Amino acid sequence: MILNAPDELYLPDATVVALVGAGGKTSLMQSMAAHAVASGQTVIRTTTTKLAGDTDNPFFWDGRKTSLPLIQTRLSHDRSLTLVRDRDSTTGKLLGLAPEAVDLLAASSLADRIFVEADGARGKSIKAPADHEPVIPRSTNMVIGIIGANALDASLDETLVFRPELLAAICRARSAEPVDARILACLAAHPQGLFKSVPPPPCRRILFVNKMDMAGEAAWEMLAQARRLVRAEHPDESGFAMQWFAGSVNEGWLRSVD
C-alpha cells in the first residue's frame, strides 16, 4: 500500500479506475484495492484484457445481470473480489470482462470501487497502444497511465519497450534512440499515446511513473522536463494528465512531479 498517496490518487468519486500503460499496472491495482478495503470499502478488481493465472481465488462471472446477486453475496463476505470471465485452457491466464460488463457492474453499485486493468504489456516497462488498445469501459471516471522508470534513458527497443515500433512511430523516433524527455512528453500528450481512448471529462487522467526506487536524480530531472514540455505545448492541459506522480509501488511511496 502507498501510505503517503495524495488524495488525487484516491479520489472518493473515482468509482471505476482503469489502469493503462506498462511497468506496474497489476501491482498498483493491488495497492489501491488494499487501500480501499482498509478504508472500509468494497472492491472489485478485474481486467478487460488478461490477468496472470496465479491470481488468488478468482470469481468467474458470465457478465449477465441475472448473475449479479452471486457477486453481491461474495462481496458481503470478502469485501474484495477478483472478477473474470474465464480461464484460458492453453496459457492458464484469466480472461477479462467485456467493457460493457464492467459498465453493468458500475451501474449496479455492488462495489464502492472497481479497478480495471485495461491494457497489456507482457512485463515490459513502457508502451504505446496498438489499434485495439486500451479497452476502457465507458463508465470509467479515472484513468491512470503508468510508465516504468527503468525504461527512462533506455534504448527504444524490445528490451524494455512493448512494441517499440509503435512508440517510435507516434514520437517520430529512431529505434536506437534513448527514451528521453521528448519521448515521454509525446507519449503523455499524443492522441495515440498513453491516454488513447480515455473517456472525455469528467473522467480524470493521472500519469504515474513507477519503479523510481531503481532510478536516480537524473530520472526526476527528465520527468520534470517532460512535464514542462507538455505544459508548453498544451498550456491548458485539456485532454491530458492533470497530475503527474512518480514513486515506487514496491516500496510504498510517491511524490508529485511539478
In a domain, 50, yes or no: no
Structural domain containing residue 222: 7-41+119-256
Are 143 and 204 in contact, with CB atoms under 8 Å apart? yes
Instruction: Give residue 6's pLDDT.
Output: 64
Are 237 and 225 in contact, with CB atoms under 8 Å apart? no
pLDDT tens per residue across span 35-80: 899 889 999 999 999 988 777 789 999 999 999 999 999 999 999 9
The count of domains in the chain is 1
Are 207 and 145 in contact, with CB atoms under 8 Å apart? yes
Q: Which amino acid, residue 35? A: H
Higher per-residue pLDDT: 14 or 135: 135
In a domain, 130, yes or no: yes
Give which of 194, 242, 223, 224 is closest to 22, Cα–Cα. 194
Work out the pLDDT band at 241, boundaries 50, 70, 90.
low
In a domain, 180, yes or no: yes
Instruction: Give residue 180's pLDDT.
Output: 97
Q: b/e for 114-148, b at 16 or more Cβ within 10 A?
A: bbbbbbbbeebbbbbbeeebbbbbebbbbbbbbbb
In a domain, 69, yes or no: no
DSSP β-bridge partners for residue 143: 18, 205
Instruction: Give residue 13's pLDDT.
Output: 74
- Residue 228: its H or E element: helix 217-233
Q: 237 pLDDT exceeds 90?
A: no
Integer Cα distance of 81 and 90 in angstroms: 24
In a domain, 95, yes or no: no
Q: Residue 198 gets which letter from DSSP?
A: P
Average pLDDT score over the chain: 91
In degrees and rounded to multiples of 5, residue 168 shows phi and psi of: -65, -40
In a domain, 124, yes or no: yes
pLDDT tens per residue across span 22-43: 999 999 999 999 889 988 999 9
In a domain, 205, yes or no: yes
Instruction: Give residue 233's pLDDT.
Output: 84
Classify 27 as helix, strand or coil. helix
Work out the pLDDT band at 1, boundaries 50, 70, 90.
low
In a domain, 202, yes or no: yes
Work out the pLDDT band at 183, boundaries 50, 70, 90.
very high
Q: 161 pLDDT exceeds 80?
A: yes
pLDDT tens per residue across span 79-114: 999 999 999 988 888 999 999 999 999 999 999 999
- Residue 137: its H or E element: none
